[in-house]
Chains A and B, each alone.
Chain A
Amino acid sequence: MIRLSRLIAVAANTFRETVRERVLYNLVFFAILMTLSGLLLGQLSIRQDEKILKDIGLASMDLFGTLIAVFIGTGLVSKEIERRSLYPLLAKPLGRGEFFLGKFAGLAFTLLVNLGVMTAGLYLTLVLTGRGADPVLLAAVYPLFLGFLLVVAFAMLFSTVSSSSALAAVFTVGVVVAGRFTDVIRNMRDVAPGVPPWAVDVLYSALPNFRNFDFKDRVAYGDAVPPDVLAWVTLYGVAYVAVVLAIGLASFRSRDFQ
């Protein structure tokens, strides 16, 4: 049985680790980027620069968040195994499920804080440069967070089944890249007619479609995202994360720590 207090203890320690390992230093780069963008884009017309500023802000959030999710996510479990730091912990009344899900929750919280600060930074830049805080932006930020959670889930899955964190990172990057270009896979029949249609269908259905979490262009133009679309994206993201985490957890539970 999973006890929440132990899961929270692991999550809190994971968050502390990311802070002390200076993972959140990316926020400094983001702050510099926003400041420079705000100063440089002042020369452009009001409609143009606002869109560019939003584009740069959201793209940076996406990039930094994905990088953290991949590279910290793959190390979450594999580093613990390689360094054997989980040995004394698992001999205590800490279940493997609590440890695994606690690590996930800890990194999820780090990503949330990271994304929250960057969102605040983007809004601050918009307001300080006289462009107004557009609440529609949040409709792009929230799906980004769901996408990060899915990346972390895949990173943790690969780090439990592969022998090294480097290999897990390669697999995770592969899934993220493929998942961002699922349209290419769907059009593979036209590009590579030799590939059997069933193989294309299987690949297209099995891979997560990360484009489902991407509303950056839409909100940069000021278009709202309907609530039913956000609800569907939430369902898609949560279900996918749950399945990938369940597979990862099953693998982690059956693993020997030699």
Chain B
Amino acid sequence: MAPSIDTPLFVRGLSKSYRIGHVFQRRRPALEGLDLEVLRGEILGYVGPNGSGKTTTLKLLVGLLRSDRGEGWILGEPLAARGWRYRVGYLPEHPYLYDYLTPAEYLDYAGRLFGFSAARRRARARELLALVGLERSAGLPMRRFSKGMVQRAGLAQALLNDPELLILDEPMSGLDPIGRRLVRDLIAAQRKAGKTVLFSTHILSDAETLCDRVAVLRAGRLVKVGPLSELLQLDVAHVEVLASGIAASAPGLEAADRAEQVGDRLRLEVAEGRLGGVVAAVEAAGGRVLSVQPIRQSLEDYFYREMGTPSAGGTEAWGEG
């Protein structure tokens, strides 16, 4: 089945198992029958617990692993073809970029692999190092880089060929808040430029902030794919009221289902039908309503609801993988 032009990444029945053991070898499935489509211009978050098969999937896509079964197309070409590699960028998890090179030298080397001219390599390196905030470290060997700086250099090499499709494995891993923000902005800018992004992450808030759709993987199987709004049910029956200058014991607040003091603020969970009464009670007691918003389930809530916590009996660990 050939994919449509609006599906830069199309995978059917992709499976992979690893041999384990030395003398008595057996196979442990890492990915089973993955069907996945990434649509043009979207950011698809690939999330799941440790060992769920996220990195295996991305490695299968870029050819670092050979699949047992299944087929896939990238930008209309079969996975085994080389042509799409000119139009795709890939950032591995915890990248190691030769530490004896400067980032400018690394980008120059990578540019040669794409067949870029010397002038284009120089211009692109300058442009990308500025983009990832490394222009002042362009001449430093990467052995002197922090983990976050290496990650940013890794992102620069993934963007070198101005790719139509970006495949990023844990791009925010190891970054400080400023670095994470920078990477998040870069990914968002790719979408704005009409590019497609597939990225795996264990930081659920990043997936929530960035993704148009999320694919959830567990134990090598795809559990769910869809827009976040579908995955994260909006609990419109309840709203959250944030108030200041008032105590939970104030008259009229017993109508709230839940009252919680957060610093100098009071957080109230109120059924929609009783909202008017509670707001009036806050004002009558001399308090101030700071915000009123529907209670929305987070992606993390979804994970815990659908898959349980690690302590709830799952063998998988939450986090990277």
Contacts and interface: CB of A to CB of B under 8 A. Distances in A.
A162 interface: no
A93 B113 contact: yes
B309 to A, nearest CB: 28
A20 B100 contact: yes
Interface in A61-91: 83-85, 87-91
A17 B85 contact: no
Nearest to B115: A5
B158 A84 contact: no
Interface in A202-240: none
B112 interface: yes
B88 interface: yes
B64 A17 contact: no
B94 A84 contact: yes
Contacts, number: 77
A5 B86 contact: no
Nearest to B18: A258
Nearest to A9: B112
A17 B63 contact: no
A119 to B, nearest CB: 27
Given A17-B100, A88-B157, A93 B109 contact: no
B82 interface: yes
Most chain B beta-carbon neighbours within 10 Å: one of A5, A17, A88, A95: A88
Contacts of B92: 84, 87-88, 91
B96 A94 contact: no
A92 interface: yes
Given A6-B112, A257-B59, A91 B88 contact: yes
Given A83-B96, A87-B64, A257-B64, A93 B114 contact: yes
Contacts of A92: 85, 90, 110, 113-114, 161
Interface in A179-207: none
25 contacts: A6-B113, A9-B113, A13-B109, A21-B100, A84-B92, A84-B96, A85-B97, A87-B62, A87-B64, A87-B90, A87-B95, A88-B97, A88-B158, A90-B62, A90-B63, A91-B90, A92-B114, A93-B114, A94-B113, A95-B82, A254-B66, A256-B65, A256-B66, A258-B18, A258-B65
Contacts of A83: 96
Contact of B85 (A21, A93, A256): A93
Given A9-B109, A87-B92, A258-B65, A93 B98 contact: no
B91 interface: yes
Given A5-B115, A17-B98, A93-B86, A88 B66 contact: no
B154 interface: yes
Interface string B50-89: 0000000001001111100000000000000010011010
A9 B108 CA distance: 10
Interface of A: 5-6, 9, 13, 16-17, 20-21, 83-85, 87-95, 254, 256-258
Given A83-B96, A256-B66, A93 B82 contact: yes
Most chain A beta-carbon neighbours within 10 Å: one of B97, B98, B114: B98
Given A87-B64, A92-B90, A95-B82, 5 more contacts: A87-B95, A91-B88, A91-B167, A92-B161, A93-B114
Nearest to B167: A91
Most chain B beta-carbon neighbours within 10 Å: one of A92, A95, A258: A92
B81 to A, nearest CB: 10
Nearest to A20: B100
Interface in B248-266: none
Contacts of A17: 98, 100
Contacts of B101: 13, 16
A2 to B, nearest CB: 12
Q: Which 7 A-B pairs have the closest CB atoms?
A: A91-B90, A9-B112, A91-B62, A87-B92, A20-B100, A257-B64, A93-B85
A145 B298 CA distance: 65
Nearest to B60: A256
